[in-house]
Chain A
């Protein structure tokens, strides 16, 4: 019964995979043949339903073909373990091989067209001269603004530190609620799923977007930047922490459970000692990442050196920008080295 459900689940994934691929390739084909104008391309609802229908057709084709023993790419990826052990036909003599080849070639061609890649633009001599002028400015930095750059860099470092320091305890508490081996009951699974979803969403929103939201909320400045980094850090740390929690060995958990300990005691005495070192390492690394991200967040009004960079680059003052980039590069290099050494020593 369980076995059956499992293999049906795999078959469904295979058909979905093949269906999406079929719909994508068919749409590329349709666009090439019919050459629709821009207005037709913008009809999202209609085009989405065409894609949906093609997706269903593809899924059914995949189901039929795999039924007759021709292995599609989806089948190759999602087939159950016992089938993976079997020898499969060589690349160009199999359905999945052609599928893979056509998909890659078509995608490469479409990508080149969509990104408007052009060797002519890249080799254009005027454009190249413009870039060299900019580089010239960057390479002769104006050190008059160095004190200012250093001061704003310090602001950025503290912004990153506070974001990390505030995010760490929150992520620490939350990570256990989104670890599968802690949330074992049915109601636990609901909390686990909901938290995971919230974290995935807030992580997929870039810190820059959060900075824009918070600069409207609390006003432009380092506070908005710090809040943006904090939100992003909570989600990222909670995910990393919970992965460490999920990979602890079960023995000590069983050992503590067998004494009749409460859930809280089991977590504290059997899981926490096993994850302390990875947690510290993740946290230091997060501070390091936050310093780099704080610069970017500053570009949209999050304060710190990023805002200064924005100010000078907006006025095309390249020697000043050069100084700022030097300061950023030095701090990022230093933090990277320092955090690598500390994390190495902790192992």
Chain B
């Protein structure tokens, strides 16, 4: 099967001289739930932000859906972003807007700038947004202000916003890192549902290995900007754990 995403020799050096990514190669097949693990500062977030061009890569290729997107500019960047949705550790919703309005913002790229500013969202989009809120189980909260929701509910709103883009690929940057353990699983279950039922490919950064083993179909470990492990989540044993996270560290289990 053809890759949905192919990354070749991806390098990212920040203006202050930090080399966040040092020649990363990744192949992602459609329908995968790929998990990226590694210490804070290992380059996980940078990698995701290079894929949807929130950051500009320094060199290398990112081939998404048959097109090299590593150097596109202007309107083309927005086109790429509209096909790749993203959810974030801190949800990044707009606090003073309603849940429904936040979900509708996922369709901004398909609506003219002025129409969206005056609030003219097509009826079809509103119906679609309500449908996705139903999918993530918070349809009844549609008229509430987003900042009145709990963390887990906010992340589900963010998932619904991401789905509004009709994405082929969903990037998740530490989606459960600021949630309590119980809520963690709810959010991860919805991501798996999106992955299995809607067939959307997911690339997620995660911290807890127990979550990786439960949800990931494949795992890649980054250390100081380089890939040190690639394979099945079940094959990460204590020895690998020590190599990825450093000697003397111990795994935290989350139930």
Q: Does A49 contact B (CB under 8 A)?
A: no
Show 21 A/B contacts (Cβ-Cβ < 8 Å), sorted by A.
A1-B17, A251-B88, A251-B90, A251-B91, A252-B94, A255-B86, A255-B88, A255-B93, A257-B81, A258-B52, A258-B86, A259-B109, A259-B164, A260-B78, A260-B79, A260-B83, A262-B109, A265-B108, A265-B117, A269-B94, A273-B96
In whole angstroms, how far apart are the Cα atoms of A52 and B98 in the complex? 61
- The interface residues of chain A, by DSSP majority, are classed as helix
A184 CB to nearest chain B CB (Å): 11
Q: Does A264 contact B (CB under 8 A)?
A: yes
In whole angstroms, how far apart are the Cα atoms of A256 and B52 in the complex? 12
- Contact residues in B for A269 (Cβ distance below 8 Å): 94, 97, 105, 108, 116
Tier of interface size on chain A: 20 to 34
Neighbour of A2 across the interface among B15, B78, B86, B93, CB < 8 A:
B15
Q: Check if B79 sits within 8 Å of A261, measured CB to CB.
A: no
Q: Does B158 contact A (CB under 8 A)?
A: yes
- Contact residues in A for B165 (Cβ distance below 8 Å): 259-260
B3 CB to nearest chain A CB (Å): 22
Q: Does B149 contact A (CB under 8 A)?
A: no
- Contact residues in A for B116 (Cβ distance below 8 Å): 265, 268-269
Q: Does B80 contact A (CB under 8 A)?
A: yes
Q: Check if B93 sits within 8 Å of A259, measured CB to CB.
A: no
- Contact residues in B for A11 (Cβ distance below 8 Å): none
Q: Does A179 contact B (CB under 8 A)?
A: no
* A-contact 0/1 string along B156-194, CB 8 Å cutoff: 001001001100000000000000000000000000000
In whole angstroms, how far apart are the Cα atoms of A29 and B78 in the complex? 64
- Contact residues in A for B164 (Cβ distance below 8 Å): 259
- Contact residues in B for A273 (Cβ distance below 8 Å): 94-97
In whole angstroms, how far apart are the Cα atoms of A159 and B157 in the complex? 47
Q: Check if A259 sits within 8 Å of B161, measured CB to CB.
A: yes
Within 8 A of A (CB), among B46-64: 52, 54
In whole angstroms, how far apart are the Cα atoms of A270 and B116 in the complex? 13
B189 CB to nearest chain A CB (Å): 22
Q: Does A3 contact B (CB under 8 A)?
A: yes
In whole angstroms, how far apart are the Cα atoms of A3 and B158 in the complex? 38
In whole angstroms, how far apart are the Cα atoms of A282 and B52 in the complex? 37
Q: Does B92 contact A (CB under 8 A)?
A: yes
Enumerate chain A interface residues (CB-CB to B < 8 A).
Answer: 1-3, 251-252, 254-262, 264-265, 268-270, 273-274, 276
Residue among B16, B78, B79, B82 having the largest count of chain A Cβ atoms under 10 Å: B78
B79 CB to nearest chain A CB (Å): 7
Q: Check if B108 sits within 8 Å of A252, measured CB to CB.
A: no
Q: Check if B96 sits within 8 Å of A260, measured CB to CB.
A: no
CB closest residue in chain B, given A260 = B82
- Contact residues in A for B95 (Cβ distance below 8 Å): 252, 273-274
Q: Check if B88 sits within 8 Å of A254, measured CB to CB.
A: yes
Residue among B17, B83, B94, B116 having the largest count of chain A Cβ atoms under 10 Å: B94
* A-contact 0/1 string along B1-20, CB 8 Å cutoff: 00000000000000111000
Q: Check if B108 sits within 8 Å of A258, measured CB to CB.
A: no
- Contact residues in B for A257 (Cβ distance below 8 Å): 54, 81
B108 CB to nearest chain A CB (Å): 4
- Contact residues in A for B97 (Cβ distance below 8 Å): 269, 273
B178 CB to nearest chain A CB (Å): 11
Neighbour of B82 across the interface among A251, A259, A264, CB < 8 A:
A259
CB closest residue in chain A, given B48 = A258
Q: Check if B78 sits within 8 Å of A255, measured CB to CB.
A: no
- Contact residues in B for A264 (Cβ distance below 8 Å): 113, 117
Q: Check if A262 sits within 8 Å of B94, measured CB to CB.
A: no
Q: Does B106 contact A (CB under 8 A)?
A: yes
Neighbour of A251 across the interface among B16, B92, B106, B109, CB < 8 A:
B92
CB closest residue in chain B, given A264 = B113
Neighbour of B80 across the interface among A2, A254, A260, A276, CB < 8 A:
A260
Within 8 A of A (CB), among B66-101: 78-86, 88, 90-97
In whole angstroms, how far apart are the Cα atoms of A57 and B88 in the complex? 55
- Contact residues in B for A258 (Cβ distance below 8 Å): 52, 54, 81, 84-86, 92
In whole angstroms, how far apart are the Cα atoms of A261 and B113 in the complex? 8
- Contact residues in B for A254 (Cβ distance below 8 Å): 54, 88, 92
In whole angstroms, how far apart are the Cα atoms of A1 and B91 in the complex? 36
In whole angstroms, how far apart are the Cα atoms of A1 and B13 in the complex? 13
A274 CB to nearest chain B CB (Å): 8
In whole angstroms, how far apart are the Cα atoms of A262 and B15 in the complex? 25
